[in-house]
Amino acid sequence: MHVLISGGGIGGLTAALAFQKLGHRVTVLEQAHVFEEIGAGLQISPNGMRVFEALGVTARVEKDAFRPRSQELRFGKGGGRILTIPLREASYARWGGEYLHVHRADLAGALAGALRDRQAGAVQLGHRVVSYSQDDAQVSAHLDTGETISGDLLVGADGIHSAIRSQMTGPDTPRYTGHVAWRAVVPVSELGEHAPPESACVWVGSRRHAVTYRLRRGSLANLVAVVETRKAPAESWTATGERAQALRDFRRWSPVVRTILEKAVTLNRWALYDRMPLETWSDGRVVLLGDACHPMLPFLAQGAVMAIEDAYVLARLVTRKETLGAALSAYEAVRKPRTSRVQAGARRNASLFHRGDPISQLATYGPIWLAGHLLPALAHGQYDWIYAHDVTEMPDTAA
């Protein structure tokens, strides 16, 4: 088959590698003219890394990544540690794969490089798909330049503002969650004694939380700091905000968080919106994956990884099933329960991280602290259902 993929993000590039590995020809249509630094950090948990292992790109992905020592839960004010879950060797032992932090631009570059090595000309930059048309024989992607490119299958991996989804299901009405996220990346060398720990660290507090971790082999500090805000800003990944506002949002918080806010050259301010589940993910020869069909709040760090899982499962089912219709139906049936559960878990964490009064904090974090000290195996196993999931080994009916 000739598979067209709208969107050269993490999900789209992974899908291209998976389809190419299984013998198909792929064309990735990406609207950007270059892969830029936009997007900052990603956490790639073992369930995503096993897909990269199956696709033979692990070495490329690991090259500029950082291996955190642990996951941590701490108080934003004071920095007291609530829970620590070991990673590095423990991650492979428990979940069968690495847990990595990687810059989005580095990951996209690694995947695109692998794809170009395997199929010259597969990635077409500066190509924005605005609509599609199809018949029984083929599907055509229509670009903003007026050009049309045709193939056997069109994969909509074009993100939360997907043009493919809009045509397939109609325009959506996103719901503002009441949360705004500050994002920043700062060289660790500029942070001195207030550099973040070598962990995936969640700092919790009243109506707000922050996440810190390191990128590029430990040379960069990544921050995502979320605060509850009544007024809904525009939904934009690249919007910026005022440093004074960010510092007011996290006043009296740990100097680890505040120093990153003070030193950042750019502070992006990202309003978090949620969307209702889609009734269908496909239309004839067109199918969606990743944020285009199940956008995730970032509170489980699984948005990119769910797209990676989607990509592998979709390519495998399209290759194995007798008809394209059967493959796309199976893909939706298999992936919807999994992604819906992760979406729900991310929504729950928004509340878990934002406990305000001391009684609520004691009731919530006290049992977590006790479990970490008295029943560490139980505490460390709370995300087994996510991280131990292996779509590369599971039967097609359960992936």
Residues with catalytic annotation? 213
Question: Where do runs of H (alpha helix) occur along the chain?
Answer: 10-21, 46-55, 58-62, 89-95, 104-118, 163-169, 243-249, 255-263, 303-320, 324-352, 358-374, 376-380, 384-387
Please answer whether residues 180 and 190 qualify as being in contact, where contact means their C-beta atoms are separated by less than 8 angstroms.
Answer: no
305: left (phi over 0), alpha (psi -120 to 50) or beta: alpha
Q: Which residue has the tokens 């991650």?
A: 91
CA distance 240 to 243: 9
Please answer whether residues 317 and 333 qualify as being in contact, where contact means their C-beta atoms are separated by less than 8 angstroms.
Answer: no
List the Cα angle 30/297/314 in 5-degree steps: 50
Tell me the chain's radius of gyration from C-alpha atoms.
21
4: part of which helix (H) or strand (E)? strand 2-6
Determine phi and psi for 127, rounding to 5 degrees: -120, 105
CA distance 250 to 73: 17
CA distance 180 to 225: 8
The Cα-based distances of 303 to 80, 91, 115, 120, 199 in angstroms read 28, 20, 22, 29, 19
Partnered with residue 103 across adjacent β-strands are 41
The SS3 call for residue 257 is helix
Strand-pair category, 100-103 with 153-156: unpaired
* Length of the chain counted residue by residue: 399
* Sign (positive or negative) of CA dihedral 383, 109, 268, 188: positive
